[in-house]
Amino acid sequence: MGPEIEGRRLAEPVRDAGGSVLLAEGTVLRQVHVDFLARQGVSRVAVHQADPDGMQLVPTLDDLEHRRGVAALAEAFGTCRARRETLLHQALQFGREVLCHAGPQRRPPGRFPFREYTLHHSVEVGLWSRLLAQELGLDEAGVEETTLAGLLHDLGKCRVPSEVLHKDRQLDPEEWQLVRQHPSWGADACRKGGLRGRRILQVILQHHERMDGAGYPLGLKGEEICLGARAVAVADAFSAITSYRDYRGRKLPVQAVEELQREEGHYDPEVLAAFWRLLSPYREGDAVCLADGSRGRVLRPGENPYEPWVETSDGRRMRAAAPFAVVGWAA
Class assignment of domain 1-58? alpha beta
Rounded distance, CA 35 to CA 282, Å? 11
pLDDT < 50: residue spans in the chain: 1-3, 50-60, 105-109
- pLDDT for residue 246: 59
- pLDDT for residue 57: 33
Domain assignments of the chain as residue spans, ordered by start? 1-58, 63-278, 284-331
- pLDDT for residue 7: 62
Say if CB 121 and CB 240 are below 8 A apart.
yes
The CATH T-level fold of domain 284-331 is SH3 type barrels. (2.30.30)
- pLDDT for residue 19: 73
* Domain covering 63-278 in this structure, CATH number: 1.10.3210.10
* Predicted confidence (pLDDT) per residue in 88-97, tens digit: 989 989 888 8
* Predicted confidence (pLDDT) per residue in 306-324, tens digit: 778 899 888 889 887 655 6
Say if CB 150 and CB 125 are below 8 A apart.
yes
- pLDDT for residue 109: 46
Rounded distance, CA 36 to CA 291, Å? 21
* Predicted confidence (pLDDT) per residue in 68-120, tens digit: 888 888 889 888 888 777 889 899 898 888 888 766 544 444 555 556 788 88
- pLDDT for residue 53: 34
**What's the DSSP call for residue 43?**
-
**pTM, full prediction:** 0.74
Please enumerate in sequence order all residues whose Cβ is within 8 A of that of 63, keeping only pairs 6 or more positions apart, or say none.
none
